[in-house]
Chain A
Amino acid sequence: MALLEVKDLSAGYENGYVVENISFSLKDGEFLSILGRNGSGKSTLMKALQGLLKNASGLITVDGEDISSLKVRHLAKKIAYVPQIFSFSFEFSVMETVLMGRYIHQGRLGGISSSDSRIVEEVMSLAQIEHLKDKKIAHLSGGERQRVFIARALAQDTPFLFLDEPSSHLDISYQVEIYQILKRLQEEKGKTILSTEHNINLVIPYSQRLMFLKEGKVIALGEPEKLITKENIKEVFEADVEIRENIHSKLPEISLIPKAGEKS
């Protein structure tokens, strides 16, 4: 049973809080997407939830344990993280990168155990990257790279999986592919997934709940069917939209309205 609870979380950097008074809980096995404009505090919240920010107040518990009292190594066995930006100063191979997810389960000097190789094999097949095993990370496409980082997070073997804008910089087919993989992980592996995103339509079919973030505060939290309204989108994204039903999923979907005077 995995449970993450957040009470009155405020967090930011040296010059002050970016997100304020955030309270919510993440239920076992659910997929929650955090939506908001650029600069609304999505990435900051993502970091704060893992105790990565020093300037933070409030309480975050994972399975009843306060994360600020947990050892880094212990927390890394609970929450795995797929970051948005990655530097390529050093050319690790795909295999080496995925194996780093196993470090927390290995001794300092010990090699790869049989369970390590079994898990690495399994997560590489889940992320569909077996064929890239010996390639260098820097030589991969954006979509392949994202799948490698998902595989590394899976290798950590944690109940929680956090992703920061997993679809950014990817073209449409890769975006859908990533979310298909996440859906499989949720259904087959029972992962509890928290993800930030700015593409609203992309996440609606996959998320049990949405969180709307604006200027560091939670504006709304609930099921997509209830939250996707003209008024909410106007409020959160400051964009005029129509809501219609997607002909395949029967779920709500937003449709942009061009602003008056911008006709070409």
Chain B
Amino acid sequence: MKTTVKKLRLLLVLLILLAAGFLISLLQGPVETNFHDLWNLIINNDSTFRTIFIDLRLSRALLAFLVGASLSLSGAILQGYFQNPMAGPFVVGVSSGASFGAVLCIYLGLNIRIIGFSVQSIFAFASGFAIVSLVYLLSQRKGVFKVETLLLTGIAAGALASALTSFMIFLKADSFEQAVFWLLGSFALSDWNQITAVLPYFFLCFIIAQWLAKDMNLLVLGDDVAQSLGCPVSSVRKIFLALSTFLAASSVSVSGIIGFVGLIVPHWIRILIGPDHRYLFLFSSLTGGIFLLYSDLLARTLLQGELPIGIITAVVGAPFFIYLLSQRK
């Protein structure tokens, strides 16, 4: 019962932070606005600042939240999948792979949509999936993952994908901003279309992950044990790999590579509430969303111009990652 109280308390804190984050995001920006303006819009339907509040700030805050939630959920899944609390979409190379796919699509000029899916997100998904499959094949021996091989192959594959991405940008980029967008991430170009490109995937993946959360609890014990406890290992593994890639790819195709969120958030949540994935998936998503919401606030208010958000998450995430490495026995 003690743990239930702890979870409820954390949930309350997170919901307060979430509400506060959205409120600050709505009020902060280059155009001076105050709470009264926002009140006028909501209550009196005064449309003076409608575009600024709704189309610029709300869409941006919502996108930051969704991307953070998607990346953290992806990380929570990957950490379970690789039975390793140091995995994440960036570390395992999925993010870089997805970014490569998205940029390749732009490079080839394929800007069309097929039954609601943009070709760009299909490319991002396919190349992210290729990278994670490669890392999976190289880092396991008889169903056991070696941490060192996992991290090294992930980093190597990610570096290769990033190099190819940079090369294409170098050949064709219209601007320096575009390169920064893909390699360091940004929400500066957010709009409602991008929200529709992330929101449905996030909800679908979240529901499936939650549905299979008990199977994930078994999967982290190793394949043989999981199966003897009733988990259909091979099909569950396939589903989780697809989910984590989908989440990372849809995030990357709207906001570029934002590193470390998917690593540190699920890891930190596991320390707080334990490794039960029935709660881990929910709390990681919520916390990841809040983390990016505030990171984006910093990114757009810290300096005069826009700071790439990937710089902020790396400044927070990289030292944490090093700390984790040093804690290993």
- Return the contact of B232 from the options A72, A83, A93, A152 (Cβ within 8 A): A72
What CA separation (Å) do A156 and B85 show in the bound complex? 28
Asked if A76 CB lies within 8 Å of chain B CBs, one says yes
- Looking at A99-107, A140-148, A175-183, A216-224, the stretch in contact with chain B turns out to be A99-107
Asked if B227 CB lies within 8 Å of chain A CBs, one says yes
How many residues of B are in contact with the other chain, CB < 8 A? 28
Tell me if B276 and A52 are in contact (CB < 8 A): no
Point out which of A76, A86, A91 has the most chain B C-beta atoms below 10 A from its C-beta: A76
Tell me if B229 and A92 are in contact (CB < 8 A): no
- Return the contact of B224 from the options A47, A79, A90, A156 (Cβ within 8 A): A47
- Return the contact of B230 from the options A47, A87, A90, A103 (Cβ within 8 A): A103
Report B-chain residues with C-beta under 8 Å of the C-beta of A156.
229-230
What CA separation (Å) do A109 and B211 show in the bound complex? 7
- Return the contact of A90 from the options B210, B220, B227 (Cβ within 8 A): B220
Report A-chain residues with C-beta under 8 Å of the C-beta of B225.
81, 83, 86
Chain A residues 37-94 with CB under 8 Å of chain B are 47, 50, 52, 71-73, 75-77, 79-81, 83, 85-87, 89-93
Chain B residues 131-172 with CB under 8 Å of chain A are 142, 144
Least CB separation from A43: chain B residue: B224
* Minimum Cβ distance to chain B for residue A156 (Å): 7
Asked if A96 CB lies within 8 Å of chain B CBs, one says yes
- Return the contact of B221 from the options A86, A104, A109 (Cβ within 8 A): A86
Point out which of B221, B229, B275 has the most chain A C-beta atoms below 10 A from its C-beta: B229
Tell me if A103 and B229 are in contact (CB < 8 A): yes
Tell me if B222 and A90 are in contact (CB < 8 A): no
Least CB separation from B143: chain A residue: A52
Asked if A108 CB lies within 8 Å of chain B CBs, one says yes
Tell me if B230 and A92 are in contact (CB < 8 A): no
**C-beta contact mask, B178-198 vs A, less than 8 Å → 1, else 0?**
000000000000000000000
Asked if A24 CB lies within 8 Å of chain B CBs, one says no
* Minimum Cβ distance to chain B for residue A136 (Å): 9
Tell me if B275 and A91 are in contact (CB < 8 A): yes
Tell me if B227 and A52 are in contact (CB < 8 A): yes
* Minimum Cβ distance to chain B for residue A53 (Å): 10
Least CB separation from A46: chain B residue: B224
Least CB separation from A53: chain B residue: B224
What CA separation (Å) do A47 and B142 show in the bound complex? 13
- Return the contact of A73 from the options B85, B212, B230 (Cβ within 8 A): B230
Chain A residues 83-138 with CB under 8 Å of chain B are 83, 85-87, 89-93, 96, 100-101, 103-104, 106, 108-109
Tell me if B229 and A96 are in contact (CB < 8 A): no
Report B-chain residues with C-beta under 8 Å of the C-beta of A100.
217-218, 221, 229
Tell me if A50 and B228 are in contact (CB < 8 A): yes
Report A-chain residues with C-beta under 8 Å of the C-beta of B221.
86-87, 100
Least CB separation from A92: chain B residue: B275
- Return the contact of B85 from the options A71, A81, A89 (Cβ within 8 A): A89
* Minimum Cβ distance to chain A for residue B264 (Å): 16
Tell me if A108 and B214 are in contact (CB < 8 A): yes
Least CB separation from A95: chain B residue: B3
Which bracket fits the contact residues of A? 20 to 34
* Minimum Cβ distance to chain B for residue A51 (Å): 8
Point out which of B212, B228, B230, B275 has the most chain A C-beta atoms below 10 A from its C-beta: B228
- Return the contact of A96 from the options B80, B210, B227, B276 (Cβ within 8 A): B276
Report A-chain residues with C-beta under 8 Å of the C-beta of B85.
89-90
Least CB separation from A149: chain B residue: B225
Report B-chain residues with C-beta under 8 Å of the C-beta of A103.
214, 217-218, 229-231
Tell me if B230 and A76 are in contact (CB < 8 A): yes
Asked if B83 CB lies within 8 Å of chain A CBs, one says yes
Asked if B84 CB lies within 8 Å of chain A CBs, one says yes
Tell me if B142 and A89 are in contact (CB < 8 A): no
* Minimum Cβ distance to chain B for residue A263 (Å): 42
* Minimum Cβ distance to chain B for residue A132 (Å): 16
Tell me if A87 and B142 are in contact (CB < 8 A): no
Report B-chain residues with C-beta under 8 Å of the C-beta of A71.
232
Least CB separation from B218: chain A residue: A100
Tell me if B224 and A92 are in contact (CB < 8 A): no
Report B-chain residues with C-beta under 8 Å of the C-beta of A75.
230
Tell me if B270 and A104 are in contact (CB < 8 A): no
Tell me if A76 and B228 are in contact (CB < 8 A): yes
Report B-chain residues with C-beta under 8 Å of the C-beta of A90.
80, 83, 85, 220, 270, 275
Which of B's residues lie within 8 Å of A, judged by CB?
Answer: 80, 83-85, 142, 144, 210-212, 214, 217-218, 220-222, 224-225, 227-233, 270, 274-276
18 further contact pairs, Cβ within 8 A, besides A89-B83, A106-B214: A13-B142, A47-B224, A72-B230, A72-B231, A72-B233, A83-B222, A83-B224, A87-B83, A90-B220, A90-B270, A90-B275, A91-B275, A92-B276, A100-B221, A101-B229, A103-B231, A108-B214, A156-B229
Which of A's residues lie within 8 Å of B, judged by CB?
Answer: 13, 47, 50, 52, 71-73, 75-77, 79-81, 83, 85-87, 89-93, 96, 100-101, 103-104, 106, 108-109, 152, 156
14 A–B contact pairs at CB < 8 A? A50-B227, A72-B232, A76-B230, A85-B222, A86-B222, A86-B225, A87-B144, A90-B275, A92-B274, A92-B275, A93-B274, A108-B212, A109-B210, A156-B230
